Structure 1
Amino acid sequence: MMSFDRRSLVALATLGSITLIGGAFMFQFLGYAPCKLCLWQRWPHAAAIAIGCIALTLGGLRIFSWLGAAAALTTGGLGVYHTGVERDWWEGPTSCSGSGNGLDMGNLLSTTGSDIVMCDQVVWQLMGLSMASWNAIASFVIAGIWIAAATRKA
């Protein structure tokens, strides 16, 4: 069985977040506009990428690995929350889900904004799981890699 050192694990976890953000931008390029919750899920990945780059450049891999794990767990949690909104397990933000009660007539008639993307609508899925669900799964795997890096002996 192959064993990875701490530095390799940090690089792998960082690459995981780069891949997920890259995939999100690819879907956006293909015409799948992100909703508010989709955008929220990108920020912790961006933080994890920055954390990984700093760790790989400056060292201090253990402490940065815990920070990377926190970022990955945050986006995983947001993915679970978004999945729950999509599956009607709970309500999402009123500005992008449900009946649109958070939207006023001025927003609906405005020609200056972009299309409103609803957070409770699944626009793409694979094997019955939405992008939010896949993000959650992948993010928890990445969090495990970060935790492995943090707990690995130097």
Structure 2
Amino acid sequence: MIVAHAKKLLSSPRTVFSGVAAISALSLAAALTAEVAFDLEPCILCVYQRIPFVLALIVSLLALFLRKKLNDITIASLAGLCSLIFLANSGIAFFHSGVERHWWKSPFEGCAVPPLGDDVQTMLENILSAPTGSCDEIPWADPILGLSMANYNVLLCFALSGICLLAMQTLRQSPSR
């Protein structure tokens, strides 16, 4: 019963790409909320982990708006592309987790990203006076499990990659729009 329901959900391009878009947008919103509302300064690896969410959001929105004009193979391929994007993000997050846990060193010196300003002059001043934060410090960890945001991102993106891969297979086998 659960498998049949999951297959039905994954056979709908609208459901798949709406889910990818929503999760990507919520992930970006969570990162910005942590930065702005809780003063958690992102390192460069944190910022790099946002790029795949932006890419997945763009791909999923394009797929949503163009799904009636695209053939079934293209729709399935876009789900596969989202799978690869999330797998890449899981890899970036895993690398960041390793830096945080001191399994290996970051290739970036002074990993802090300066806050943006309202004008070019303020941005330049912020860049020049930015503290040299380190990617190997965990700014926030789950108080129960001790997992960092990068650790959670590994799990989230790996799961999303698998779901998008299953969606690609399902969309290829039973096209329905």
Please state which band the TM-score falls in when normalised by the shorter chain: 0.7 to 0.9
Structure 1 CA distance for aligned equivalents of residues 48 and 64 of structure 2: 25
User: Equivalents in 2 of 1:49, 1:145: separation in Å?
Assistant: 15
Between the aligned partners of 2:136 and 2:39, the Cα distance in structure 1 is 18
After superposition, residues 59-138 of structure 1 pair within 5 angstroms as 59=67, 60-96=74-110, 112-126=128-142, 127-138=145-156
Instruction: Give the Å deviation of 1:19.
Output: 1.4
Q: Percent identity, please.
A: 26
Code of the aligned partner of 2:165: I
Question: Deviating runs (4+, > 3 A) in structure 1?
Answer: 110-113
Are 2:23 and 1:16 aligned? Answer: yes
TM-score, with normalisation over the residues of structure 1? Answer: 0.85
Could you tell me the TM-score, scaled by structure 2's length?
Answer: 0.74
For residue 49 of structure 2, give the secondary structure of its aligned residue in structure 1.
helix
How far has the Cα of 1:24 moved from its partner?
0.4
What corresponds to 1:102 in structure 2? none
Unaligned runs of 5+ in 1: 98-109
CA 1:51/1:112 → structure 2, altered by over 3 Å: closer, same or farther? same
Gaps in structure 2 of 5+ consecutive residues = 68-73, 112-125
Measure, in 1, the Cα distance between the counterparts of 2:90 and 2:20.
14
Q: How many residues align?
A: 142
Output one character per residue of 1:65-112: Cα deviation in whole Å (capped at 9) or x when no partner. Answer: 111111111111000000000111111124136xxxxxxxxxxxx983
Separation in 1, partners of 2:127, 2:46:
23
- Please give the alpha-carbon distance, in whole angstroms, between the structure 1 residues aligned to 2:127 and 2:151: 32
- In 2, distance between residues paired with 1:151 and 1:121? 39
What per-residue deviation string (whole Å, max 9, x for no partner) do you get for residues 34-84 of structure 1?
Answer: 000000110011000000001111123211111111111111100000000
CA RMSD of aligned residues (A): 1.7
Question: In terms of mean alpha carbon deviation, does 86-95 or 124-133 score higher?
Answer: 86-95
